[in-house]
A = this chain, B = another copy of it.
């Protein structure tokens, strides 16, 4: 939790004036970054409970922090998922590809080739490790910062770029803001611009899967700031009441645009602890630790598949980049803060882990970085053959379609008015 700067208080007993407490982050621009309030327990300290364990026996996990990679990036403790080197390398690759994709897309936005972009830099382990931990046909209800899910599921970058460009191959027909992907064949639900709405929808999907005696579970993601929305509460209530087979993830990257997580309640409890009041296990995990994120997600998935109900996971991480291309973090947080994040960088940590295992080298690392950058460039070239928002976007002809399954008379009339 962020350090709570308490409002000064008069002597107890004496009737005193009430005072409003307004949260204050530990450091503002110009001040020294200060993460002294963040307790980082040693890796491997927490045991891995049985997937059938009663919620009441799991409450410690809401205040704890599940970590597998230690200071030297060695995997330690019961939560070590014991992944083989090949899988770890694929994970590293997917995270690096996500980062390379983000960097390239930011550039093309800066070049004016599209209107908007959002990076996930520093949070790649969340989406990639969780995609690896879930089954390919589990249904994903993401927020706008889990592009790593698509990349880890091997979706075409060209297809993603075409959406960002709103070009003639944009499967969303130029209708959506860049990065608001929807990829049905990859079990990736249409991203909404309205925060949190996907959370209860994921629960409903999971309830349906349970009604039908299916085996597929659902997972959803919101940021810590979004936990304040009604949809968060509705999702947890319905997940608890019907014991839905769903994994509800809160990505605590410390910020909601300019607001630090204290404005979502983070001064007074962890976000994992929100689960306790619903009788749902709440687990807090080092979100920059690929192995820990993978292991905790596997545990929650196994629990859900065995009809033991939902799990809330708080992924403790840091938003290293700006909120979006419309944002400039230097206006509200110390510049060097990102570099001081106590839990490090997920890509570097997994890389060091592999090197420590003798399964990876600096040389391979650099070669892979170059390879991925080339791939992204090549994909971008192809995507641009289908146009960009600046040049040739998709055709407005289709703009009256899909409001309804069949176009009602008034829309046919309006389309004619528009000249199509």
A263 beta carbon closer than 8 Å to chain B: yes
CB of B277 within 8 A of CB of A276, answer yes
Cβ contact within 8 Å between B234 and A20: no
* A210, A237, A244, A280 interface centre (most CB from chain B within 10 Å): A237
Closest approach, in angstroms, between the C-beta of A209 and any C-beta of chain B? Answer: 6
Assess the A17–B240 pair: CB atoms within 8 A. Answer: no
Chain A residues proximal to chain B, CB less than 8 Å: 7, 9-10, 12-13, 15-23, 51-52, 55, 59, 207, 209-215, 217, 228, 230, 232-234, 237, 240-245, 262-265, 267-269, 271, 273-280, 282, 305-309
Partner of A306, one of B12, B52, B210, B269: B12
Residues of chain B with a CB closer than 8 A to A245's CB: 18
Residue from B15, B279, B305 in contact with A18 in the complex, judged by beta carbons closer than 8 Å = B305
Which B residues touch A21, using CB under 8 A? 210, 242-243, 307, 309
Which chain B residue shows the least CB distance to A63?
Answer: B56
A309 to B21, CA, bound (A): 9
What would 12 A/B residue contacts be, using CB atoms closer than 8 Å?
A16-B306, A17-B213, A19-B213, A20-B242, A21-B309, A237-B264, A241-B267, A241-B268, A265-B279, A268-B280, A274-B277, A277-B282
Asked whether B55 lies within 8 Å of A306 as measured between CB atoms, the reply is no
Quick one: given A9-B307, A52-B12, A307-B9, are A265 and B237 in contact (CB under 8 Å)? yes
A18 CA to B214 CA, complexed, in Å: 6
In the complex, which residues of chain B have a beta carbon less than 8 angstroms from the beta carbon of A234?
228, 230
**Contacts A12-B51, A233-B232, A307-B7 given; does A209 touch B263 at CB 8 Å:** no
State whether B19 touches A210 (Cβ < 8 A). yes
Q: Which residues of B contact A211 (CB under 8 A)?
A: 20
Among residues of B, the one whose C-beta sits closest to the C-beta of A273 is: B277
Alpha-carbon distance A15/B59, docked complex (angstroms): 27
CB of A20 within 8 A of CB of B241, answer no
- Measured in the bound complex, the distance between the Cα atoms of B265 and A306 in whole Å is 21
User: What are the residues of chain B within 8 A of A280 when measuring CB–CB?
Assistant: 268
Complex CA gap A211/B7 in Å reads 12
User: Which residues of B are found within 8 Å of A17, using beta-carbon distances?
Assistant: 213-215
CA distance A270 to B244 in the complex (A): 19
Which B residues are in CB contact (< 8 Å) with A52? 12
Q: Which residue of B lies closest to A207 (CB)?
A: B20
Cα–Cα, bound, A306→B7 (Å): 11
